[in-house]
Structure 1
């Protein structure tokens, strides 16, 4: 009898082959910082002096772009690390059952990636705190050593918007770092990835792009540019680290990143060109320093696109045989990316050429564009100005849905035409609503703001919810091999998420939906603050969309959630929450104090405009608009209630056929016993 030999353990790569990636991280940050710092010090200082801008000293002139560039690289590293731990590295799924992805833990590689993301976020927080006094020094023309006192820093945090932005970034980054260190399960990695991406948003809302004419285009295009930049740089940093650790499934990770990089390259190119076209004329590209910086940045971006071509044609096909080839090219690519980031940083300190039209009126300065007539159905339907943020999001949502639908057809499966219609109405409706006169007038008058609030929180989200996007994803894509989850399994995990279960709890859901009405409109100072800047309008619109989507997802959404309430309970939620909108409408119509008075006066609206009457019209919109979604939602819930009632009837009928209707017999016996007791008592 021969003894059975146990299988040999997998070969462990020699420790000498596993290399640390921290030198690459530090090198990329230093390259970006030095490029930005030296361009500012030797190339821009005389330009600022010629414009009469006070010289804060070499320490600030060099240090401000130096640390800002480092912050961008660190943000990219944090984003890329959480992207890697969430989607590039397969977690340890219990029994390799992808349906149990919510119980998965991180592998050693995933743990290291998550830790890197957390440390990078903490470093972002530290650099952001350094940037705040540097900004104050630069704005005031005071040497940095004289700014570092309580009085100057209090002034900076109270009056200098850019310094405030850096402090907000520091708080957000610190929160991401803390959450990253205490989160060891896979389920938190996608959340940390999203939170790390949000660190970029405050910085994307300030700078040259946030001022002057067309600044709505400038800000939104710059934010797109910055978001895809950190995804592009961060993703390659995460891949390099994974490869140098000799992590598993490198081919899968590279394939996923390759798609992301292709999209990022296109998005950065388009958004960069849009932003440049707004700032300067093409004739200024080669005759001004601002233009030369754009030219240098464009050339470096094209070089990065060439690196992507090399990866797709040479390194990725040979990844299995020559993995080091991919890593060597990627490291050079990171150096070019860092240089590009350093060049881009200097645009924030470079005076752009004079605007095409130096005679901007108040509305163009505050809003970014001009409206010459009072809102009417005619001009709201005929005017068009593509909304770079929400108009683009609507087109992307429609395209992604169509792509998933194509996959469903390829698999030979059927999909509801009604769901497709609802989604396309919602996504394309978002683009049309925000890009036509309706969206253009939202920042100009209170009544149109309230119309936008109602549409963005009650109409668009309802249509999108009825499109059932998560169910479509689960139908369009197959589950991965055991222990190797795919987008199908990520969607399933989301529908079982405890976080989603908490958010869609009926009580929590109603409170979050009503929060924006009570807090935003009952707090006069908060509304004034929110509408005074373009960033406030963008954040409010996002909040309305997300809040409305969560609300209707729980109430009528066909997509699954962890614990959906019974139909009668959801009907109760509907009837309890909608009247509050009516109450708020009545409150606004009776309010005798004008909300956002300072902001609306600053627009110097060119038509005869009664602010108080306009606010009462806005209150009327809030009062009456809730009836539109109520009809659709009530109708759907009523149909679901009838279906549930029929299903219960069929269940009890089937049960009665099996057990002879034992329940009814026991019920009749109970009634007979009660009758006998009553007769004895009499």
Structure 2
């Protein structure tokens, strides 16, 4: 009894100490760099001590709540075993406790996000919280200004996660809620210490990876503390799975932190700046924790599985102290201005303020292959896709199973095309030239999905991923659940997929606000890329795919569907070539591009390229469809032959008997009547003689 009370007391102490320690580190670091003191600049208003101290305090609590929410949900959906084999889709006691923890943390996330909206407006406007008319001005700020809308979106996502946790009683609902929680980290990345620098988009992507890694790492540890008693004998396997997950999080956090430091620090000398010192402390703490954690886990896991509770508390306490401290340092970094480039800060040009980087040089023929602008979101995803596929093929072949070389080639080609479209010339010039934007769009929507589908990644994953035998949901189980989910079945229906593929393209370019938003907003650009990649993948999978999950129509209907869909695509390109209205004119004019074609000529070129780039995916799909059709007929023929061989030509004998019966019936019905042997004139003569 006393041991149980002691465990509860330690769990409560750890859970309460985590946010308290993070707040203490954040306020201490912010105070050391002068972020809590008044600016002291004549003419600039001061929001007051309540805002200066309250903003980092509330922001730290918001970050800890968000990280805990994501970590608890990820742990529940990937590491914790189910209660009984007969109730695989229901939540076990440990999973219900983790969902309850996530609900509480998400509610705190939503509340602190709402408070943060008020404090952020007070800070950026220099208005005290008790100033007259403050409420009306704050409402106008978070409705009309980008920074306020980000905070509002963060609060909305948090509230949605809390509602999802309250309503979820099965693993499917918890899985959807987990995805929403991960997406809810995006507004935090947009307003974190990644914001406000020249390479804003690249820094936001890295910040998102950083937040995701910290969330699963730190939030998972807090969740293990809370759920430890409910796990019982499943604590060892859960901690082992979490340790594997945390190992990947270490790589993600370290790599994203290093690249972010390279972006934010313009020179070696800037390391000595307050921003550089805080960033160095954060990276050092994470790196030291990674090494110590690897060494400690090797010694602790054996003691933990032997029932030594002291090993568990030692493992958790040290890591949580360091991780919550790094979260506090991150808040202090967001309150510290990054060092200016060598030579001092200079006013940004119009193109730099819009693009977040300098206007690229004129594009020539060689530039299609030599121009690169690395995208820190899609570059890691594309490289990871290639690495996973090659690793899976190697693993499959080591087991003695064959895998077609052309499938591997197709997948690699699709990933390379995706990397070129997002990081090569289309990515570098997609927001500057409409023609290159169209190249990027058509490559992602038509070319990349066809090659990815022909690689049959779902089949490869199902053949290489391990099956969980304790009821927990691993990658294989979640993949099977997704491909058989009702929304995927509806969206993957051939007609629905074809309509979504064509209509979304027409709506996107017909509505100038959507197209222009994808140029102005990094979030809209990411959503556009993911949407058209998914729409193209579902359409290609419904026509030429062979992965399990979707129901595909007969081959003649597939051919008709491909022809009609690409016919509408060509018609859209021709209509775009004929229009005289320049899409997103204000955006392209504001860039003040001094080189290249006029806006109208460049749009005509883009529409022409869009038409042309739809032809070779059509040819690839037609060839794949023809080969698949011939192979399907061959398989059906061989299946019939094997069935006939087993049944001693039963169907062939029955068919011959049927033909014989038809012949005999024809002979019976075809006997010549008496009148048919006489001449027709004799018959007419007799009929004429009748009265």
Once residues 445 and 583 of structure 1 are traced to their aligned partners in structure 2, the CA distance between those partners, rounded to angstroms, is 22
| Structure 2 SS opposite 1:460 | helix
Pair 1:326-2:322 in alignment: no
Pair 1:32-2:18 in alignment: no
Pair 1:404-2:378 in alignment: no
TM-score normalised to structure 1 length: 0.88
Alpha-carbon contact 2:82-2:470 (below 8 Å) kept:
no
Once residues 436 and 514 of structure 2 are traced to their aligned partners in structure 1, the CA distance between those partners, rounded to angstroms, is 18
Deviation at 1:140, TM superposition (A): 0.5
Alpha-carbon contact 2:431-2:519 (below 8 Å) kept:
yes
Alignment RMSD, CA only? Answer: 3.3
Pair 1:558-2:558 in alignment: no
Deviation at 1:148, TM superposition (A): 7.2
Alpha-carbon contact 2:83-2:93 (below 8 Å) kept:
no
Once residues 662 and 191 of structure 2 are traced to their aligned partners in structure 1, the CA distance between those partners, rounded to angstroms, is 74
| Aligned counterparts, 1:32-51, within 5 A | 32-40=22-30, 43-46=34-37, 48-50=39-41
User: Which consecutive residues of structure 2, in runs of 5 or more, have no partner in the other structure?
Assistant: 672-691
After superposing on structure 2, the runs of 4+ consecutive aligned residues of structure 1 that deviate more than 6 Å are 12-15, 663-679
1:481-528 Cα distance to aligned partner (Å, 9 max, x none): 364665444433433333322331223323332343133211112222
| Structure 2 SS opposite 1:187 | helix
Question: In the alignment, what sits opposite 2:534?
Answer: 546
Question: In the alignment, what sits opposite 2:650?
Answer: 658
Deviation at 1:16, TM superposition (A): 4.9
| Aligned counterparts, 1:343-354, within 5 A | 343-354=329-340
Question: In the alignment, what sits opposite 2:414?
Answer: 426
Once residues 14 and 602 of structure 1 are traced to their aligned partners in structure 2, the CA distance between those partners, rounded to angstroms, is 69
Once residues 589 and 664 of structure 2 are traced to their aligned partners in structure 1, the CA distance between those partners, rounded to angstroms, is 78
| Aligned counterparts, 1:104-143, within 5 A | 104-143=89-128
Aligned CA distance change for structure 1 residues 483 and 210 (closer, same or farther; 3 Å): closer
| Structure 2 SS opposite 1:461 | helix
Once residues 379 and 137 of structure 2 are traced to their aligned partners in structure 1, the CA distance between those partners, rounded to angstroms, is 41
Once residues 171 and 507 of structure 1 are traced to their aligned partners in structure 2, the CA distance between those partners, rounded to angstroms, is 34
- Alignment size in residue pairs: 664
Deviation at 1:120, TM superposition (A): 2.4
| Structure 1 SS opposite 2:358 | coil
Alpha-carbon contact 2:36-2:52 (below 8 Å) kept:
yes
Question: In the alignment, what sits opposite 1:366?
Answer: 354
Aligned CA distance change for structure 1 residues 610 and 264 (closer, same or farther; 3 Å): same
Question: In the alignment, what sits opposite 1:174?
Answer: 159
Question: In the alignment, what sits opposite 2:682?
Answer: none
Question: In the alignment, what sits opposite 2:73?
Answer: 82
| Aligned counterparts, 1:6-405, within 5 A | 16=5, 19=8, 21=11, 24-40=14-30, 43-46=34-37, 48-50=39-41, 54-91=45-82, 95=86, 104-146=89-131, 151-207=136-192, 209-285=194-270, 287-321=272-306, 322-356=308-342, 358=346, 360-405=348-393
Once residues 435 and 37 of structure 1 are traced to their aligned partners in structure 2, the CA distance between those partners, rounded to angstroms, is 39
Alpha-carbon contact 1:284-1:291 (below 8 Å) kept:
no
Once residues 244 and 111 of structure 1 are traced to their aligned partners in structure 2, the CA distance between those partners, rounded to angstroms, is 13
1:450 aligns with one of 438, 441, 453: 438
Alpha-carbon contact 1:447-1:618 (below 8 Å) kept:
yes
Alpha-carbon contact 2:270-2:339 (below 8 Å) kept:
no
Aligned CA distance change for structure 1 residues 16 and 588 (closer, same or farther; 3 Å): same
Once residues 167 and 659 of structure 2 are traced to their aligned partners in structure 1, the CA distance between those partners, rounded to angstroms, is 55
| Structure 1 SS opposite 2:556 | helix
| Structure 1 SS opposite 2:380 | helix
User: Which consecutive residues of structure 1, in runs of 5 or more, have no partner in the other structure?
Assistant: 1-11, 97-102
| Aligned counterparts, 1:391-540, within 5 A | 391-481=379-469, 483=471, 486-540=474-528
Larger radius of gyration: 2
Alpha-carbon contact 1:568-1:641 (below 8 Å) kept:
no
Once residues 203 and 173 of structure 2 are traced to their aligned partners in structure 1, the CA distance between those partners, rounded to angstroms, is 33
| Structure 1 range deviating more: 393-402 or 223-232 | 223-232
Once residues 673 and 127 of structure 1 are traced to their aligned partners in structure 2, the CA distance between those partners, rounded to angstroms, is 88
Aligned CA distance change for structure 1 residues 420 and 442 (closer, same or farther; 3 Å): same
1:288-323 Cα distance to aligned partner (Å, 9 max, x none): 222222122223223422441343232123221224
Once residues 579 and 609 of structure 1 are traced to their aligned partners in structure 2, the CA distance between those partners, rounded to angstroms, is 29
Once residues 67 and 322 of structure 2 are traced to their aligned partners in structure 1, the CA distance between those partners, rounded to angstroms, is 14
Alpha-carbon contact 1:37-1:61 (below 8 Å) kept:
no
Aligned CA distance change for structure 1 residues 579 and 144 (closer, same or farther; 3 Å): farther
Aligned CA distance change for structure 1 residues 550 and 323 (closer, same or farther; 3 Å): farther
Aligned CA distance change for structure 1 residues 171 and 483 (closer, same or farther; 3 Å): closer
Deviation at 1:451, TM superposition (A): 0.8
| Structure 1 range deviating more: 269-278 or 337-346 | 269-278
Aligned CA distance change for structure 1 residues 429 and 659 (closer, same or farther; 3 Å): closer
Once residues 171 and 139 of structure 1 are traced to their aligned partners in structure 2, the CA distance between those partners, rounded to angstroms, is 22
Aligned CA distance change for structure 1 residues 486 and 209 (closer, same or farther; 3 Å): closer
Once residues 389 and 60 of structure 1 are traced to their aligned partners in structure 2, the CA distance between those partners, rounded to angstroms, is 34
Aligned CA distance change for structure 1 residues 482 and 78 (closer, same or farther; 3 Å): closer
Deviation at 1:168, TM superposition (A): 1.1
Once residues 242 and 231 of structure 1 are traced to their aligned partners in structure 2, the CA distance between those partners, rounded to angstroms, is 15
Aligned CA distance change for structure 1 residues 327 and 579 (closer, same or farther; 3 Å): farther
Alpha-carbon contact 1:118-1:181 (below 8 Å) kept:
yes
Once residues 307 and 70 of structure 1 are traced to their aligned partners in structure 2, the CA distance between those partners, rounded to angstroms, is 27
